[in-house]
């Protein structure tokens, strides 16, 4: 079975950027890649590369699991699981660290950005994070990895590691290809549209959370920072705020940017923002309703158990094979 693999960190309530750059894209891809099995997981091992409170982790892991399903992913051809429940992820991470060069990790933009923000010191886990991520993907011989723009560099490293191992140990891993959505791969902050919308931004007005109330969503969009030119035209450089709102509308409705431009040719920013708010509210309302029904259900736990079982079998086999391949342990007769 061919695999598509991706993960999201449980590091805060899911925001519209992560939703459009990943989950919404997975939903679309399930209809396109009908001969692939989807392995999607909650990357909780990644989350502890920065110190987190236990109660916070527990809550966000559960919330994110429910949101994956509430967002409309079909249960057929899908295994949803929690990364730490599959021991092979930690094992593979260690093995791959021994194939990763310090220089490669030092070059990672996300590491540099995140390290700078740490006040109490930078953990070794934050540094070796890309090797853990490579393991997540290579364990399942993923053919495709759907991610947003900010994960490109990690994917490149994963491909380099796969090729490095393949050169030494005759084509052991599938070299994965990134699948980056054409629209929505980088949703920007609503208050500083030159910055990515992020779970960790101190300014809550910069983002929309999937579970936000309708009036908050409307307020955030109506007060989104735009320019003073009043024409609805896509121009990331000179009109980042309005371009971001157009991207949000396009990623949700599947209308092209050109169609949106034409439809709102004579509209004011106020009218356009109202339409964007309507589109976002209509998209998120059913997700929220399904989330509320799922969050404390047995159905969710049962689905996560099933997903873990499917993933564990493949992952354990691959990591044991890798141990063996590189000469660890005893040779079996
Ligand atoms: P994370 O948890 O930061 O983000 C999850 C996914 O959402 C995308 N994303 C965005 N897309 C568009 N606009 C935004 N503003 C935005 N913010 C986030 C990210 O690109 C990502 O696809 N290391 C990964 C998680 C991970 C993973 C993996 C992904 C761990 N192992 C293996 C793929 C395969 C991360 O921190 O994503």
Q: Is residue 308 situated within a structural domain? A: yes
Does 21 sit in the ligand 1 pocket, CB within 6 Å?
Answer: yes
Mutational test site, ligand 1, from 13, 22, 105, max ligand atoms within 8 Å of CB = 22
Does 12 sit in the ligand 1 pocket, CB within 6 Å?
Answer: no
Q: Residue 332 pLDDT > 80, yes or no? A: no
pLDDT band (50, 70, 90) for residue 200: confident
**CA-to-CA separations, 3 to 34, 161, 286, in angstroms, rounded:** 11, 19, 29
Does 165 sit in the ligand 1 pocket, CB within 6 Å?
Answer: no
Does 25 sit in the ligand 1 pocket, CB within 6 Å?
Answer: no
Distance 227 CA to ligand 1 centre (A): 29
Averaged pLDDT for residues 250-270: 96
Give the burial class of 116: count Cβ atoms within 10 A of its Cβ; 0-12 exposed, 13-18 middle, 19 or more buried: exposed
The separation between the first and the last C-alpha atoms of the chain, rounded to the nearest angstrom, is 29
**8 and 70 co-located in one domain:** yes
Owning domain of residue 170: 2-180+298-326
Distance 18 CA to ligand 1 centre (A): 7
- Where helices occur in 254-268 by DSSP H, the ranges are 257-263
Nearest residue to 19 (alpha-carbon basis) of 201, 256, 184, 188: 184
pLDDT band (50, 70, 90) for residue 32: very high
pLDDT tens string 115-161: 999 999 999 999 999 999 999 999 999 999 999 999 999 999 999 99
Rounded Cα gap, residues 182 and 148, in angstroms: 10
Q: Which atom of ligand 1 is nearest to the CA of 8?
A: 2
Q: Which entry of 24, 62, 196, 239 is annotated as an active-site residue?
A: 196
pLDDT band (50, 70, 90) for residue 331: confident
Rounded Cα gap, residues 19 and 153, in angstroms: 20
What integer pLDDT is reported at residue 265 of this predicted model? Answer: 93
The residue whose two tokens read 């490095």 is 164
Q: Is residue 61 situated within a structural domain? A: yes
**159 and 279 co-located in one domain:** no
**78 and 48 co-located in one domain:** yes
pLDDT band (50, 70, 90) for residue 199: confident
What total of structural domains would you count in the chain? 2
**17 and 140 co-located in one domain:** yes
What integer pLDDT is reported at residue 1 of this predicted model? Answer: 85
Q: Assess contact for 246 and 20: CB atoms under 8 A.
A: no
pLDDT tens string 91-109: 999 999 999 999 999 999 9
**CA-to-CA separations, 5 to 31, 70, 270, in angstroms, rounded:** 15, 19, 40
**99 and 25 co-located in one domain:** yes
Does 46 sit in the ligand 1 pocket, CB within 6 Å?
Answer: yes
Rounded Cα gap, residues 190 and 293, in angstroms: 30
Shortest-distance Cα residue to atom 20 of ligand 1: 148
Nearest residue to 264 (alpha-carbon basis) of 241, 284, 235, 234: 234
**245 and 128 co-located in one domain:** no
Mutational test site, ligand 1, from 50, 148, 251, max ligand atoms within 8 Å of CB = 148
Averaged pLDDT for residues 40-63: 97
Distance 151 CA to ligand 1 centre (A): 6
Q: Assess contact for 294 and 69: CB atoms under 8 A.
A: yes
Q: Is residue 18 situated within a structural domain? A: yes
Q: What residues are paired with 4 via a beta bridge?
A: 38, 144
Does 151 sit in the ligand 1 pocket, CB within 6 Å?
Answer: yes
Does 5 sit in the ligand 1 pocket, CB within 6 Å?
Answer: yes
- Where helices occur in 41-84 by DSSP H, the ranges are 44-47, 54-70
Mutational test site, ligand 1, from 44, 150, 178, max ligand atoms within 8 Å of CB = 150
Supply the CATH number for residue 265's domain: 1.10.240.10
Shortest-distance Cα residue to atom 24 of ligand 1: 8
CB neighbour list of residue 54: distance below 8 Å, 6 or more residues apart: none
The answer to whether residue 199 is catalytic is: yes
Rounded Cα gap, residues 241 and 243, in angstroms: 5
Averaged pLDDT for residues 247-268: 96
* Phi, psi dihedral angles at 226 (to 5 degrees): -135, -175
**259-268 CB contacts, 8 Å cutoff, 24+ apart:** 260/232, 261/232, 261/233, 261/234, 264/232, 265/232, 267/232, 268/230
Q: Which atom of ligand 1 is nearest to the CA of 133?
A: 31
Angle between helix 124-138 and helix 88-97 axes, rounded to 10 deg:
110
**175 and 310 co-located in one domain:** yes
Q: Which entry of 152, 199, 205, 288 is annotated as an active-site residue?
A: 199
**322 and 262 co-located in one domain:** no
Rounded Cα gap, residues 305 and 282, in angstroms: 31
Mean pLDDT score of the chain: 96
Q: Which atom of ligand 1 is nearest to the CA of 11?
A: 2
What integer pLDDT is reported at residue 233 of this predicted model? Answer: 96
Distance 117 CA to ligand 1 centre (A): 19
**At 136, which helix (H) or strand (E)?**
helix 124-138
Q: Is residue 186 situated within a structural domain? A: no
**140 and 264 co-located in one domain:** no
Rounded Cα gap, residues 132 and 96, in angstroms: 8
Supply the CATH number for residue 160's domain: 3.40.50.620
Q: Is residue 333 situated within a structural domain? A: no
CB neighbour list of residue 105: distance below 8 Å, 6 or more residues apart: 111, 127, 128, 130, 131
Nearest residue to 90 (alpha-carbon basis) of 57, 121, 44, 58: 44
Question: What is the edge-to-edge ordering of all strands in the sheet holding 36-42?
Answer: 78-82, 36-42, 2-8, 144-146, 177-179
What integer pLDDT is reported at residue 159 of this predicted model? Answer: 98
Q: Residue 12 pLDDT > 90, yes or no? A: no
What integer pLDDT is reported at residue 206 of this predicted model? Answer: 97
Strand, helix or coil for residue 204: helix
Q: Residue 219 pLDDT > 80, yes or no? A: yes
């Amino acid at each position: 079975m061919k695999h598509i693999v991706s993960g999201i960190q449980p590091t805060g309530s899911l925001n519209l950027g992560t939703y459009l750059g990943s989950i919404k894209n997975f939903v679309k891809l399930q209809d396109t890649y009908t001969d692939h099995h989807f392995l999607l997981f909650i990357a909780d091992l990644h989350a502890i590369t920065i110190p987190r409170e236990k109660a916070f982790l527990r809550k966000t892991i559960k919330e994110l699991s429910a949101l994956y399903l509430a967002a409309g992913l079909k249960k057929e051809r899908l295994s949803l699981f929690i990364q730490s429940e599959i021991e092979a992820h930690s094992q593979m991470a260690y093995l791959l660290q021994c194939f990763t060069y310090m220089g490669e990790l030092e070059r990672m933009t996300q590491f540099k950005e995140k390290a700078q923000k740490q006040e109490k010191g930078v953990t070794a886990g934050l540094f070796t994070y890309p090797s853990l991520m490579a393991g997540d993907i290579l364990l399942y011989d993923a053919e495709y990895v759907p991610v947003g723009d900010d994960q490109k560099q990690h994917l490149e490293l994963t491909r380099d590691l796969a090729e490095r191992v393949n050169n030494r140990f005759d084509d052991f891993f599938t070299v994965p290809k990134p699948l980056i959505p054409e629209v929505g791969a980088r949703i920007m902050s609503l208050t500083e549209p030159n910055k990515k919308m992020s779970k960790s931004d101190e300014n809550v007005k910069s983002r929309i959370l999937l579970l936000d109330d309708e009036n908050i969503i409307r307020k955030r969009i109506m007060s989104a920072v735009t320019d003073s030119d009043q024409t609805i035209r896509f121009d990331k450089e000179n009109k980042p705020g309005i371009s971001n709102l157009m991207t949000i509308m396009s990623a949700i409705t599947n209308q092209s940017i050109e169609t949106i431009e034409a439809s709102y040719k004579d509209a004011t920013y106020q009218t356009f923002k109202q339409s964007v708010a309507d589109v976002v509210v209509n998209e998120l309302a059913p997700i929220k309703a399904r989330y509320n029904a799922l969050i404390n259900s047995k159905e969710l736990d049962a689905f996560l158990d099933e997903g873990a079982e499917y993933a564990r079998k493949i992952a354990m086999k691959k990591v044991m094979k890798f141990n063996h391949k590189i000469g660890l342990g005893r040779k079996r007769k």
